[in-house]
Amino acid sequence: MLQPLLKSREAILALAILVLLAVIATRFPAFIGPGNLAAVFTDTSPLIILALGQMAVILTKCIDLSVAANLALCGMIAAMLNGMGLPLPLILLCVVLLGGLLGAVNGLLVWKLSIPSIVVTLGTMTIYRGVIFLLTNGKWINAHQMSEGFKAFPRAAFLGLPVMAWIAVLVVAGMAVFISRTPLGRALFAVGGNPHAAVYTGISVGRTQCAAFVISGALAGLTGYLWVARYAVAYVDIAGGFELDVVAACVIGGIAIAGGAGSVAGAVMGALFLGIIKNALPVVGISPFWQLAISGSAILIAIAVNARGQGAKGRLILKQAEHRA
């Protein structure tokens, strides 16, 4: 009974999170209080949402380094639309569609021009930040320029949790159903696990990768509004470098960079692990330099574990064709 659990990446990560919380509790017992844990989950919600979108991309053997820039551009557009007096539901629709469109740009460049995804998204990351500067001339949009309803929605409490946290929960549930119950969700694993076999079964590798980028972009657009509304500020460098945290959450959660293996639970727990570290280390008096070292060490350990576990693929969707020409 214990041995299969120890072979489960999700179980090991859950145990690591519990051990981490126990260690923190010895220094700062209030950290594991229900209210504080709810606050940590809320703070980690943007990372969870983006990690799930990144997971879809990584499963197809690609990577999206433009998610934070997408978030920043959509967040700025959300703030500008709010200044024009648009109702919040329409703003949400616009930023999700815009994020999906920006993701589609990445996907089409990867699909149609066969450019490596890391090159494409490095380029679009810079372009999206540049577009924000062109739209605003580098100016900020501050709290007093945003309506109260715009700022209040992510913070509104429902059953003890802010709406922002509930949105993350809904995204987790939606991705779990999408990955396990839809043809496109299963195609993500097939394309990443064995693209040649996927082609033989009628799956378009390029179209599937493009769809993954659209999903990642749409979730980044949604997160852009949540981020800007919660912190009540929008500017060019918002969420600068956050794309690295997103990739790290996926790696720690067991999403194979080589594609084809991973789970929603793993991505969520990888994000929570990072979120707990980032929230707890300052509280217990760890210096910022050690915080970076600890976060980096966690990523390296996760990569080493992933490399050793490559022999056993996470989820087998298609059997590799034997002796095909």
Q: Find tokens 């990445």 and name the residue.
A: 106
| Distance of alpha carbon 172 from alpha carbon 176, whole angstroms | 6
Q: What is the C-alpha separation between 253 and 249, in angstroms, rounded?
A: 6
Task: Report the candidate in 255, 231, 230 with the shortest Cα–Cα distance to residue 60.
Answer: 255
Instruction: Report the pLDDT value the prediction gives residue 323, as an integer from 0 to 100.
Output: 34
> Which residues in the chain show pLDDT less than 50?
1-6, 311-325
Given this model, what pLDDT does residue 284 score? 66
Q: What is the pLDDT of residues 65-80, one digit of tens each?
A: 999 999 999 999 999 9
Q: What is the distance between the alpha carbons of residues 230 and 140, in angstroms, rounded to a whole number? A: 15
What is the identity of the amino acid at 245? Answer: D
Chain-centre distance for alpha carbon 256: 15
For residue range 168-193, list pLDDT tens digits in order. 999 999 999 999 899 998 889 888 88
Predicted TM-score (pTM) of this structure: 0.88
